[in-house]
Amino acid sequence: MEPGGAAKAVSQLRRGVLEFCVLALLRDGERYGVELLRDLAAVDALVTSEGTIYPLLSRLRKEHLVETAWRESPTGPPRRYYKLTPTGEKALAEFSTEWRRFRDGVEYFLSANGSVEE
């Protein structure tokens, strides 16, 4: 396989999975953009450039997976808060189940190959 293959696959995976990480971050309550990004950035390898999260959030809103509201802040500028909708919760639950099966499947093959080679 060409050397760029892994990077490309991971980037596509990330693109598909990131929105569910965002939904998961909102599971415990509403957050505003900067806050969300801080949490996402705490984990390596998920977000490369933070700004791309805003188009993603905008898409989640259009798909009614999240709701947004502008709130005044006592100290700074107003913030746009994001909150999970019931639809979003459902989507997140479904993905969690699917993801575990997917992850286990991939793990099975990857580790099997590893053990053969070693």
Partner 1 sequence: MSTDNDDLTAAYLAELEREAARLPWNARAELLEDVRSHIEVALAEMREADEAFGDGSAPADEAAQVRAMLRALGEPREIVAEALADVAVDVDGAGDVAVAGDAGSELGRSASGQPAWGRSEVGQPAVDRPELGRPELTSPYPLGTQEIFAILLLLAGGLLFGAGWIAGVLLLWNSDRWTTRDKLAGTLIIPGGYATLLYALTVPVNWSLPTWLGAPLLLLAAAAPAATATFLFRQARHHPGTRPTAPTSTTTRIVLSLIGGIATIMAIGLVAAFVSVGSSSGRVHPDHGSLTTDYIDGPGPTSGYVAPMKSPVPPSSSDSTSR
d(C-alpha 66, C-alpha 89), whole Å: 9
Decide if residue 26 touches partner 1 (CB under 8 A). Answer: no
Contact 62, 102 (CB under 8 A): no
Residue appearing with tokens 């107003």: 78
What residues does 80 pair with on adjacent strands? Answer: 70
In angstroms, what is the minimal distance from the CB of 51 to partner 1?
Answer: 4
For partner 1, the closer of residues 38 and 100 by Cβ is 38
Token representation of residue 67: 């709701």
Phi, psi of 66 (to 5 degrees): -130, 160
In angstroms, what is the minimal distance from the CB of 109 to partner 1?
Answer: 30
Decide if residue 14 touches partner 1 (CB under 8 A). Answer: no
Could you say which of 3, 4, 29, 51 contacts partner 1 (CB under 8 A)? Answer: 51
Task: Considering only the stretches 21-29, 58-66, 96-104, 109-117, report the one whose residues sit in contact with partner 1 under the rule CB under 8 A.
Answer: 58-66
The residue among 68, 71, 69 whose CA lies nearest residue 60 is 68
Decide if residue 85 touches partner 1 (CB under 8 A). Answer: yes
Token representation of residue 71: 């709130």
Residues that bind partner 1 (CB under 8 A): 32-34, 37, 41, 48-52, 54-59, 62-64, 67-73, 75-81, 83, 85, 87
